[in-house]
Amino acid sequence: MHIQARACHLALLVVVLPSACGSVNNGGSDSADAAASDDDGGDSADADAAADADAVDAGDAAVEAQCSEGLAFVPGGTFTLADKPGEVVIEPFCMDITHVTAGAYAGCVSCSPADTAAMCNTDIASRELDPANCVDLAQAEFYCESLDRSVPTEEQWEWAARGGESANLYAWGDDPPVEDDDRLCWFAGRVDQTFPDRPSATCPVGFYDQQAVHPFGLEDMTGNVWTWTTSEGSEEANRVVRGGGWDNTLPGRMTTGFRNDLIQATIRHPALGFRCVQAPL
């Protein structure tokens, strides 16, 4: 897919339960004692299992508590980007579960308005839950900063998208997408209606419920809109964008490692949006 205008191309754009073992006793009282002992062991195992389950639940709650509502916790780690040399150390952070929506962006009274050109979601009631698009990097950064957050680096984005140490080729795993896939908001096969009617262009955030299969519970890491990052691109004025947009059809652009480093930071495009990150609480 090609971003023209302002003339860049987005296309280049256990719980383990203890096992019970015992000997057979033929004596009366001994048998009763053994049975009692077995009962106690069963009760103990059940208690241990319940305690372990409670510990897991408490652990999950503790992780969730590290992030504000609407953000998912991303643990830290070390990895090498798929298309860029050098080992990267990632500190734990929180990331928006979805892209910032058009409605949320419009609700930022101090933010400059998003563009209203063709295929932009700005001021369209039926698309308030679609990603905010047609905003440049500076607008995205201003919005995130208004919430004491920031736009992610490409390293943060890729680590989150791949599920950290899971190292998934795609956000949902290693199975490649196909046309009419129920995981991507693709343009292919979606041109029977004109904008803003469905199904053309963006999808509502979380429409395909990728959160259910993503290691960190993130939605739409690929296939709805590309995502701004703060990482410098091929030139000083460019920034890397990640994730593949709704008007892409090539599976390779939907991988967690694909990077587009040719996009000027001032571009505002209908297939380009953003999400925010924040340090854990």
Q: Model confidence over 108-161: pLDDT tens digits?
A: 999 999 999 999 999 999 999 999 999 999 999 999 999 999 999 999 999 999
Domains of the chain: 72-278 (3.90.1580.10)
> pLDDT-derived band of residue 183, with 50, 70 and 90 as boundaries?
confident
> What per-residue confidence (pLDDT) applies to 50?
55
pTM of the model: 0.78
pLDDT: is 112 or 9 the higher one?
112
Sign of the C-alpha dihedral computed for residues 171, 242, 279 and 91 taken in this order: positive
